[in-house]
Structures are given as structure tokens and as C-alpha cells.
């Protein structure tokens, strides 16, 4: 199986890559620090549509097919909406929603017979205090996944979200 993991150097991503190593062909996209495991990896700005498309095109050329994409980028700013700056809003939307949109866009254009897993959060469904930014961006990911599943069903592209609660990673350390 040929799998692209975007955000594979983060807390959840690095564990996923370790779990998949040796049993699957992996291509890992990372933002600022490369994975600490010996897999093929490339630096990637997942908020850039062309960069994501190029990554998937490269995987198709080198691996022959892409069976799955896992999109893991995320951010966590916990404060009430009235205390969030416009820069924090844009950064959260870009990290959480735009990266997923870039993956959906590229997969829809380039792939068929592929599973796409997008990261959400349980806070998007249940509502938690001081989670307005993360909830808004990840609820958008969930709605997009449902629509994309219908749009690209004819290409056998399957879209799902994973919505964990707090996970013990460097991002949630504080």
C-alpha cells in the first residue's frame, strides 16, 4: 500500500509513521522538522495548493499509485473568540482547514481509488469552552469531507475524518 502522510513529523503523525513503517510504502510531508524515522520525506507547505498537488503528483510518478492520504496538520489556540486576534484566526483556518482543502482539491484532480483521512477534533461536535477557533476550522473540515465523499464517489475516492479529544503530544503539552 502506498500512503502519503502530511504532517508526519508532529505528535500524532510521527506515531502513525512509526506504526506504518515496514508494512507500507510511505511518503511523508512535513513543515519544519523532518520525521525522526528513516522514511522518504519532503518539506511541504500544506497550505499551498500547488505544493500539495506536486507532492501527490510526485508520489504517483515514483510509486505508481496512491492508496491513501492522511492529512494531519493542526493548531491549538484555546481562548474565547473575543480574545483571538485576526492573525490567530487566519493562521488557524490556514493550518486546519486550508491544508485539508488543498488535499481534497489535489486528490479530486489527480487520484482515483484512494482513501483520504482528514483530522478534525471532538470539540467540533460537542462544543467546549475556549475552543471557538479550533471548532470552527475543524467543523469546516468535517463538512468538506462529507461533500467531497459525494462529489468524488464516482472516482472511488473515500473521505473520512478522525475526531480525537486531547491527545498527549507536544502541541497539547501546555
pLDDT for 29 equals: 86
What phi and psi, each to the nearest 5 degrees, are found at residue 167?
A: -120, 140
pLDDT for 34 equals: 66
Q: Which of 73, 67, 72, 61 is nearest to 26 (CA)?
A: 67
Q: d(Cα 90, Cα 103) in Å, to the nearest integer? A: 18
Helices (H), the chain: 11-20, 49-63, 86-93, 99-110, 123-126, 132-151
Q: Which of 77, 72, 70, 105 is nearest to 91 (CA)?
A: 77
Higher pLDDT, 168 or 102: 102
What is the mean pLDDT of the segment spanning 30-54? Answer: 85
Whether the pLDDT of residue 170 is over 60: the answer is no
Higher pLDDT, 167 or 83: 83
Per-residue confidence band for 167, with pLDDT thresholds at 50, 70 and 90: low
C-alpha cell at 79: 481562548
Amino acid at each position: 500500500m502506498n500512503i502519503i502522510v502530511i504532517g508526519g513529523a508532529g505528535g500524532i503523525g510521527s506515531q502513525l509513521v512509526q506504526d506504518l513503517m515496514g508494512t507500507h510504502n510511505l511518503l511523508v510531508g512535513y513543515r519544519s522538522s523532518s520525521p525522526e524515522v528513516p522514511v522518504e520525506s519532503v518539506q511541504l507547505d500544506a497550505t499551498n495548493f500547488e505544493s500539495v498537488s506536486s507532492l501527490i503528483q510526485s508520489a504517483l510518478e515514483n510509486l505508481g499509485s496512491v492508496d491513501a492520504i492522511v492529512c494531519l496538520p493542526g493548531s491549538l489556540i484555546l481562548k474565547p473568540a473575543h480574545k483571538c486576534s485576526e492573525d490567530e484566526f487566519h493562521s488557524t483556518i490556514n493550518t486546519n482547514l486550508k491544508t485539508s482543502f488543498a488535499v481534497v482539491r489535489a486528490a479530486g484532480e489527480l487520484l482515483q481509488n484512494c482513501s483520504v483521512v482528514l483530522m478534525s477534533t471532538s470539540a467540533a461536535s460537542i462544543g467546549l469552552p475556549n475552543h471557538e477557533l479550533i471548532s470552527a476550522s475543524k467543523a469546516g473540515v468535517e463538512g468538506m469531507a462529507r461533500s467531497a465523499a459525494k462529489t468524488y464517489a464516482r472516482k472511488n475516492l473515500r473521505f473520512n475524518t478522525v475526531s480525537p479529544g486531547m491527545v498527549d503530544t507536544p502541541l497539547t503539552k501546555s
